[in-house]
Amino acid sequence: MRHIKLITALALTLCLSFTLVAKPKIRIIATGGTIAGVSATSASSAYTAGQVGIQTLIDAVPQILQLADISGEQLVNIGSQDMNDEVWLKLAKRINVLLNEEGYDGIVITHGTDTMEETAYFLNLTVKSDKPVILAGSMRPSNAISADGPANLYNAVAAAVSPACKGMGVLCCMNNQLLDAKTVIKTHTIDCDTFEGGPSGIIGYIYNGEAHILQAPMNKHTKESEFDVTKLDKLPKVGIVYGYANASPLPMQAFVDAKFDGIVLAGVGDGNFYKDVFEVAVKAQNQGIQIVRSSRCPTGPTCLNSEVDDAKYHFVAALDLNPQKARVLLMLALTKTHNWQEIQEFFMKY
């Protein structure tokens, strides 16, 4: 009897100490990008993105093994200029399985910086968990002098294990900063300090391996989102038309002819069209192709019923979303409804 008690006590102590020292389980999903890129020489700026695999990225930053129980998987290995709807759907579904069925505590996604903001926003609307989901990339290839990838990966893992990052929606972790999926934007073509959080600023920063949060995102996201990709194997077709002086209506017309489901205008100023483009947009909307007005201006909202009478034409105003993120939301919105007022409400919420 005494033996049994002793063995039980020992087993309990072992269990308890294991629970106390167990590190958070973090999965790194690699998709390519410059963080996995290789240049001809360490001093050369000519390089190819998406060359090295997940294990090489993990091996380059052994310090992350102190923060978490790390495992990795390679989803694709591409420059993010080649990111597409198919990969987005795979990624969102995979993350939902890892977080909701396989017991992972957080996800880090390595990704190219060119379209990181779009992927982050897509996941912000389709991941069904409040556990941390953090995207990280780099501006310098993996073999460059002073490559920024390893520090960004380390910081991303630090964010993924941090309880402070729970419930914050999907975040990007670049250059020591944490940025919200809705507002983050790549602002510089080559600098390491390229990401900004727009007028609302950054969500927080990583210092000394710890996440410090300054504010929470205001919009609905992740667990609160009503978009569900579980049963989707493709997304509605939505294109973007760029606005400029004396603009040709041909790109807009081409999307109409190709039977796209929606078109986002990267308009001038407060989402304004050139008159010839406007004419095609009105016809498209009457044919059931949803027009969303956004702006090519880097800051400021595209306001509802301002210079353009949206209520009259049944256009939707993108409000705080830039054209590339308005495209993401419009695609998801069109999986639920074709009613312009309901779509406008999505733009107010997300």
- Catalytic residues, by residue number, are 34
Asked whether 57 and 70 are in contact (CB, 8 A), the reply is no
Q: In angstroms, how far is CA 140 from the centroid of its own chain?
A: 20
The conformational region for residue 207 under phi > 0 = left, psi -120 to 50 = alpha, else beta, is beta
- 114 contacts ligand ASP (rule: CB under 6 A): yes
Residues 39, 51, 80, 119: which binds ligand ASP (CB under 6 A)? Answer: 80
Please identify, using beta-carbon distances, which residue of 50 and 271 lies nearer to ligand ASP: 50
- 137 contacts ligand ASP (rule: CB under 6 A): yes
Residues 139, 206, 326, 331: which binds ligand ASP (CB under 6 A)? Answer: 139
Residues 17, 81, 215, 230: which binds ligand ASP (CB under 6 A)? Answer: 81
Please identify, using beta-carbon distances, which residue of 78 and 159 lies nearer to ligand ASP: 78
Asked whether 89 and 236 are in contact (CB, 8 A), the reply is no
- 142 contacts ligand ASP (rule: CB under 6 A): no
Q: Which stretch binds ligand ASP (CB under 6 A): 77-85, 143-151, 177-185, 241-249?
A: 77-85
The per-residue b/e assignment along 197-216, b for 16 or more CB within 10 angstroms, e otherwise, is bbeeebbbbbeebebebeee
Please, is 43 exposed, middle or buried when counting C-beta atoms within 10 Å of its C-beta (0-12, 13-18, 19+)?
Answer: exposed
Extract the tokens encoding 210. 């710890």
Size of interface with ligand ASP, in residues (CB under 6 A)? 11
Please identify, using beta-carbon distances, which residue of 117 and 320 lies nearer to ligand ASP: 117
- 49 contacts ligand ASP (rule: CB under 6 A): yes
Asked whether 273 and 243 are in contact (CB, 8 A), the reply is yes
Three-state DSSP class for residue 316: strand
Residues 33, 169, 198, 217: which binds ligand ASP (CB under 6 A)? Answer: 33
Please identify, using beta-carbon distances, which residue of 27 and 186 lies nearer to ligand ASP: 186
Residues that bind ligand ASP (CB under 6 A): 33-34, 49, 79-81, 112-114, 137, 139
